[in-house]
Amino acid sequence: MRIDLLSIFPDYFAPLEVSLLGKAGEHGLVDLRIHDLREWTHDRHRSVDDTPYGGGAGMVMMPSVWGEAIDEVFEETGTGGQSDRRVLAIPTPSGVPLTQSMAQDLTNATQLVIACGRYEGIDQRVAEHYREAGFEVLEYSIGDYVLNGGEVAAMVLTEAVARLLDGFMGNPDSLVEESHSGAGLLEYPVFTKPREFRSLEIPGVLLGGNHAAIERWRRDRAIEKTARVRPDLALSLDASSLTREDRAMLARCGVAYPR
Ligand code: SAM
C-alpha cells in the first residue's frame, strides 16, 4: 500500500521511520512518501493560507495549493484503474470518529493520501472537489478535542491501518483478541512475570493451567471492563455472538441482553 502524507511540517513524521512501521517500509509492505505542501506554492513567501470568506478569526488553507499537490501525488500512482482504490483522508475534528473497522476497511486501499490541515483547516472545496471527481474522501476525527494540526492524526491513521496489513505483525494472533477487534469488547487485563509485584499477586486462575477457566475469566473481565469504561460499546455487541455465560455476566454489570 502506498501512503502519502502531505503537510507544511514534513519533519513531524520522523517517528514513522522507527519501530515496526519502519520495518514495514523496508520490507515493501508500506510505501510511505512524505511531502512538503510548500513545494506546490508559487509565491516568494510560499503561502498556503489566506483570510476566511465571511470573516472570523484565523486563516484557512487555500484550495489551489492543495489541489495541485493532491493531483500530483495521485497521478504518480497512475490512472486509477478499476481495481485501484485511492482514498483521500482529511483529518478534522469535525469528521467521523476513526474506528478500528474503518482502519480495517482501508487495508485494501491501493493508495491513501492524508492531507494535514493547520490553522482553521482546509478550504471545504478540496474535499468536495475530490468527492465529485470520484475519489473516496474520508474526513475523520481522532477524538473529541482540537489539535493544532493534522500530523498527529495522520500518524494515528497510518499506524492503525499499517499494523493490520497482512505480514505486518510478527505474530498475527496478536490482532485476534485485541480491544475493538471482532468481539466488540475491550481486551481483558494482561499480566507477566514476576508473580508478585509490590505485594500484588497474579489472579490465581491464570496460574492453574485450566484453559477453559482462563478463557472464561478473560471473557468476563473483558465484559466487565467494557460495561464500566465504554457502556456504549457494551450496549452494541453482536447479540448472536453472546453465550449464556456472557449474557449472565453482562446482566451482573447492568447490561441486559435477553434471549
Ligand atoms: N477550526 C477547526 C474546527 O473547529 O473544526 C479546527 C482546526 S485545527 C486547529 C487545525 C487542524 O488540526 C485541522 O485542520 C485538522 O487537520 C487537525 N485536527 C485538530 N483536531 C483534530 C482531531 N480531533 N482529529 C483530526 N484532526 C484534527
Question: Tell me: the pLDDT tens digits for 11-21?
Answer: 999 999 887 67
Please check whether residue 127 is in contact with residue 137, taking contact to mean a CB–CB distance below 8 angstroms.
yes
Q: Cβ(97) to ligand 1 under 6 A?
A: no
∠ Cα 123 127 128 (to 5°):
100
Hey, how many other C-beta atoms are within 10 angstroms of the C-beta on 222? 21
Task: Decide: 150 in ligand 1 pocket, CB within 6 A.
Answer: yes
| Ligand 1 pocket member 146 (CB < 6 A) | yes
Across residues 87-92, what is the average pLDDT?
A: 98
Which residue, judged by its Cα, is nearest atom 27 of ligand 1? Answer: 92
Least confident residue range of 78-87, 95-104, 147-156, 177-186:
78-87
pLDDT band at 54 (very low <50, low <70, confident <90, very high): very high
**Shortest-distance Cα residue to atom 7 of ligand 1:** 120
Q: 129, 151, 25, 139: which is closest to 70 by C-alpha?
A: 129
- Where is 69: in which H helix or E strand? helix 63-75
Instruction: Evaluate whether 1 touches 107 at the Cβ level (below 8 Å).
Output: yes
Cα–Cα distance, 49 to 52 (Å, whole number):
9
pTM for the structure as a whole: 0.95
Closest residue (by CA) to atom 11 of ligand 1?
Answer: 149
Select the more confidently predicted residue: 77 or 257: 257
**Which of 153, 154, 150 minimizes the C-alpha distance to 122?**
150
| C-alpha to C-alpha distance for 108 and 118, rounded to whole angstroms | 28
* pLDDT higher than 90, residue 168: no
Sheet strands side by side (includes 136-141): 31-36, 2-7, 111-115, 86-97, 136-141
Distance 156 CA to ligand 1 centre (A): 14
Please check whether residue 138 is in contact with residue 89, taking contact to mean a CB–CB distance below 8 angstroms: yes
Which helix (H) or strand (E) element contains residue 6?
strand 2-7
As a whole number of angstroms, the distance between CA 105 and CA 160 comes to 11
Ligand 1 centre and the CA of 17: distance in Å? 24
Find out whether the beta carbon of 64 lies less than 6 Å from any atom of ligand 1.
no
pLDDT in tens, 197-236: 999 999 999 999 999 999 999 999 999 999 999 999 999 9
Between CA 239 and CA 52 the distance in angstroms is: 48
